[in-house]
Chains A and B, each alone.
Chain A
Amino acid sequence: MALLETGYRPWHGQVQNVWKRRAVVARHTMRTCLRGRVVRFLVIVPWVLALVTVIAYFGVGQILVPDGLMEPLNFYLLNGRGRAIMDGLVAWMALYPDITVRAVANFLLLSLAGFAQTISFLIITIVIPRLLTQDVASNAIVVYSSRAISRLDYLGGKLAGLLGVLTLSWLGPVLTAWFLGNVVAPDWTFFWHARSALVHSLLFIVPVMIAVAVIALGISSLSPKARIARATWLIIWILTLPLIGIARITHPWLAYLSISHVIDRLGKAIFSPYQDFIQARDNLPFFNSVFGKLPTEKIQLWGDAPMMGPVIALTIMTAVAVVILWRRIRVL
């Protein structure tokens, strides 16, 4: 008599292709990252901010239409002079709806992208040991590598999983804010006028998100200890910030060692709020009288950033992370 109740049956099904297996790794990574209340709460925060952005966008839209919802609000909240300024502003906005909508959408989405980036970085701080560190520590990589999964499949799945999380916390809220903001706008031309904000968001967030995800994976593979992975990420994210100040008085390129600075510069270079500001100043007497005397350097702080520096810095950081990944995840 058998000691155990043995019921082995062969399996005759069709094995799924390698893309499905990569998707399994990605889904597992996402699920692992989203485990825990803190992370789930943090993921919700950018969506709340997106809602706030939609409301702000809606408010701007109401200013532009005659008898909009903002009209009585202005009447009650502002005094005579304030109301006159507002009327002038509204008149200008009505005169140049394309510039207005574009500038407002650009500004709102850049701000939202910035907030969402900070939240995403916080999320990465929490989940970074769950990416590769745990697999390295527990030899789980052997489980993957003894199956029909290559090193690229494994890392690709992990990258896709983290990108999924970042899409939830970063790209998703921004795109949703753009779409919903235009849905609640007074007319459909808003979609057209705000198109550049959408393009800027995609051009900024998608490559940066991929780079950040690769860098996070690289850091996660550095050590089997969770503390080291977290500490390294925090060093790269926060402790390099003082370099920006040091760079101003020593070598400007030092600032590009800070990932936060690099991303900030890249965002400003792509969204270019400075250009919107200049356009507003040149077209609107009100803006010209208030900001016309400001030195150009101060206005440039709004974001006349060169593109090449941040792009090169981010590319180098990503390349270093890829090399680390390739060397550390060798068992596959």
Chain B
Amino acid sequence: MESPIIETNSLTKKYGNVVALDKVNLRIMPGRIGLLGPNGAGKTTLIKCLLQLETMTEGAAHLLGHPIDTEGREARTRVGYAPEIDCHIPGMAGCEYVTYCAELSGLPFDHARQRAHEMLDYVGMGQERYRLIDTYSTGMRQRIKLAQAIVHDPEILFLDEPTNGLDPKGQEQMLQLIHELGTRHGMSVVFSSHLLHEVERVCDQIVIIGKGRVLVHDSLETLRDKRRGSAEVVVAAHHEIVLSAFTGHQWPCETLANGNIKVAHGSETVNPILSVLRLIGITPLEVIPSPNALQEHFIESLKTGEN
């Protein structure tokens, strides 16, 4: 049986009177974990506490089975971290920096150098690796952050807003790399972001944090299942007829800004909707089952958290 990679027990972090993390209890199994939450929710603080960049005020946490307060160093041997902020060492070229990071993680120099070049190839850095990092663009800095985080082949990879400042193409490449690390290479990825579509694309587990508390922790599939009873219907015309037909079945519905009709039909499949449309003689252009499930969960859980 698989053991959890991250386990926290009433993990609390306070900055003076401000509670950044409030009795966080988590048991995260290996996989690709999306850490969602609005800005200031406590995502970065949670990662920092797990990596001992911040000291916990109360509670306990285990990383890869090691209690972090007594065996943090051992645990961090198998952890990679790409922080949100820039954190390069000034005066170093890209390949020199990644090699140094590998050595700091315990790789012998020869292995470190070879591995650094492999990882720089992997993240798509070319000859610019021989330039000083101080001269890099934001995109290059994000890539080098990823390279230094995976250079020692960690079991868990913590990524804090890794697509910040990237152009669409760069975002696409970064997400693809992260997805591949998780799916093809068996690395557990903790992906912290406030961009739902990115998390939805990469992750299979979701942790939603709001005001320092864990509001939701479930698999993406389960969250989608919970929203199976809703759908978006795209029709070319006759919106009023469709709305009245759905209302006649006591299904709450509304017309969205894009003209689509959102309906909560409460069934496992979209068959009841198709039946109704068939009855009124309207052919839909598209029926999207449980659209924006994650977004709805996110907004709902934040509302619940506030209440």
Contacts and interface: CB of A to CB of B under 8 A. Distances in A.
Interface string A8-28: 111101011110110011001
B104 A143 contact: yes
B106 A148 contact: yes
A135 interface: yes
26 contacts: A4-B122, A4-B124, A4-B176, A15-B77, A15-B106, A15-B152, A20-B108, A21-B104, A24-B100, A134-B90, A135-B89, A137-B90, A138-B87, A138-B89, A139-B83, A140-B90, A142-B85, A142-B87, A143-B87, A143-B88, A145-B53, A146-B79, A147-B101, A148-B73, A149-B73, A149-B104
Nearest to A27: B103
A19 to B, nearest CB: 11
B104 A144 contact: yes
Contacts of B176: 2-4
Counting chain A CB atoms within 10 Å of each CB, which of B103, B122, B124 scores highest?
B103
A7 interface: yes
Contacts of B177: 4, 6
A143 to B, nearest CB: 5
A6 B180 contact: yes
Contacts of A15: 77, 105-107, 152
Contact of A11 (B74, B79, B101, B115): B115
Given A4-B173, A146-B81, A21 B152 contact: no
Given A147-B101, A147-B104, A148-B76, A9 B87 contact: no
Contact of A150 (B73, B103, B108): B73
A32 B124 CA distance: 28
Given A6-B180, A21-B104, A145 B73 contact: no
Contacts of B172: 3
Contacts of A11: 107, 111, 115, 152-153
A8 B183 CA distance: 12
Given A3-B173, A13-B111, A143 B148 contact: yes
B140 interface: no
A39 B108 CA distance: 29
A297 interface: no
A67 interface: no
Nearest to B83: A142
B100 A138 contact: no
Interface residues of A, number: 41
B118 interface: yes
B46 interface: no
Given A140-B90, A146-B79, A21 B106 contact: yes
A5 B121 contact: yes
A138 B90 contact: yes
Given A143-B104, A146-B53, A149-B73, A6 B87 contact: no
Contacts of B185: 8, 10
Nearest to A157: B104
Contact of A139 (B87, B104, B123, B184): B87
A35 interface: yes
Interface string B56-87: 00000000000000001110110111010111
A25 B105 CA distance: 11
Given A8-B122, A28-B100, 11 more contacts: A8-B119, A21-B105, A21-B106, A24-B103, A25-B104, A143-B87, A145-B53, A146-B81, A147-B101, A148-B105, A148-B106
A331 interface: yes
B79 to A, nearest CB: 7
B76 A140 contact: no
Interface of B: 51-53, 72-74, 76-77, 79-81, 83, 85-91, 100-101, 103-108, 111, 115, 118-119, 121-124, 148, 150, 152-153, 158, 172-173, 176-177, 180-181, 184-185
A25 B176 CA distance: 33
A16 B103 CA distance: 9
Counting chain B CB atoms within 10 Å of each CB, which of A25, A138, A150 scores highest?
A138
Interface string A301-318: 000000000000000000
Interface string A233-271: 000000000000000000000000000000000000000
Contacts of A24: 100, 103-104
Counting chain B CB atoms within 10 Å of each CB, which of A2, A4, A332 scores highest?
A4
Nearest to B114: A11
A2 B79 CA distance: 26
A8 B184 CA distance: 9
A272 B235 CA distance: 100
Nearest to A20: B106
Given A16-B107, A138-B88, A145 B180 contact: no
Contacts of B124: 4-5
B142 to A, nearest CB: 14
A32 B91 contact: yes
A331 B48 CA distance: 9
A148 B77 contact: yes
Contacts of B52: 145, 332
A139 B118 contact: no
Contacts of A146: 51, 53, 76, 79-81, 83, 158
A18 B73 CA distance: 9
A242 to B, nearest CB: 36
B64 to A, nearest CB: 12
Given A3-B176, A24-B104, A148-B73, A143 B122 contact: no
B86 A7 contact: no
